[in-house]
């Protein structure tokens, strides 16, 4: 057991223009933040000023890069990683949630209940994605001394949480992570969840949509 308790801080990116209209974006790299997402990122920056990090890592897609720059400033050292990208949704990418439900009845709901049972044409296999999330974040922790900040995506963060907390991969959507929410895991005698999906830095005007694009309820 280490004498030093380390903290792994994980932030989901700000609201994107596709989040705002409930469009599936996955690994798509060219989606910008919405105006709300920019406001969220600036408030996130105020929250992060009180936390010290040994290193900062970020997904290489724009909806993560933009809030990282807005929150931390252009001069802050940030390490961008392709392996911190969200899962690729293949042919679902760019479709509205309502369009996915219409074209693939029941598949989206099954994705949120038992994602390992869903095969999406052209998508990254769920098992490979889950392994990538665990391997990438574990690698960052192993290679870094001190506390770490990771700015990424809901899927990556949830997948690593199930991995590090000993849960089933199919439990990935057991966590609700709003845009620019902060999640903290203590690395001590065992990983311990200290903070989950915290948005106390936001307010009623900047909270936005809570969580992933779940099926539309009629």
Residues with a known catalytic role: 13, 86
Spell out the long-range contacts of 210-214 with Cβ–Cβ below 8 A and sequence spacing 24 or more. 210/176, 210/178, 211/154, 211/176, 211/177, 211/178, 212/112, 212/154, 212/155, 212/173, 212/177, 213/19, 213/22, 213/23, 213/24, 213/97, 214/97, 214/108, 214/112
Would you call 144 helix, strand, or coil by DSSP? coil
Single out the residue of 47, 35, 13 nearest to residue 205, CA to CA. Answer: 35
Residue/partner pairs of 49-52 with CB below 8 Å, 24 or more apart = 51/9, 51/147, 51/149, 52/147
Alpha-carbon distance of 128 to 65, in angstroms, equals 24
Handedness of CA 49, 192, 129, 143 (dihedral sign): positive
Task: Round the CA-based radius of gyration of the chain to a whole number and report it.
Answer: 17
């Amino acid at each position: 057991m280490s004498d030093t308790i380390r903290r792994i801080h994980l932030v989901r990116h700000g609201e994107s223009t596709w989040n705002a209209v409930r469009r599936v974006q996955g690994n798509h790299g060219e989606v910008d933040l919405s105006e709300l997402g920019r406001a969220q990122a600036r408030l996130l920056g105020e929250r992060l000023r009180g936390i010290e990090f040994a290193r900062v890592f970020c997904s290489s897609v724009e909806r993560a890069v933009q809030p990282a720059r807005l929150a931390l400033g252009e001069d802050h050292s940030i390490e961008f990683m392709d392996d911190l990208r969200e899962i690729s949704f293949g042919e679902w990418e760019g479709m509205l949630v309502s369009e996915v439900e219409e074209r693939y009845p029941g598949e989206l709901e099954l994705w949120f209940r038992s994602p390992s049972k869903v095969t999406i044409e052209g998508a990254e296999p769920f098992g490979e994605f889950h392994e990538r999330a665990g391997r990438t974040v574990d690698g960052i922790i192993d290679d870094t001394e001190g506390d770490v900040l990771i700015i990424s995506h809901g899927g990556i963060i949830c997948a690593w949480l199930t991995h590090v907390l000993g849960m089933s991969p199919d439990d990935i959507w057991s966590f609700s992570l709003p845009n620019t929410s902060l999640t903290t895991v203590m690395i001590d005698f065992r990983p311990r969840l200290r903070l989950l999906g915290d948005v106390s830095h936001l307010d009623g005007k900047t909270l936005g949509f809570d969580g992933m694009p779940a099926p539309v309820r009629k």
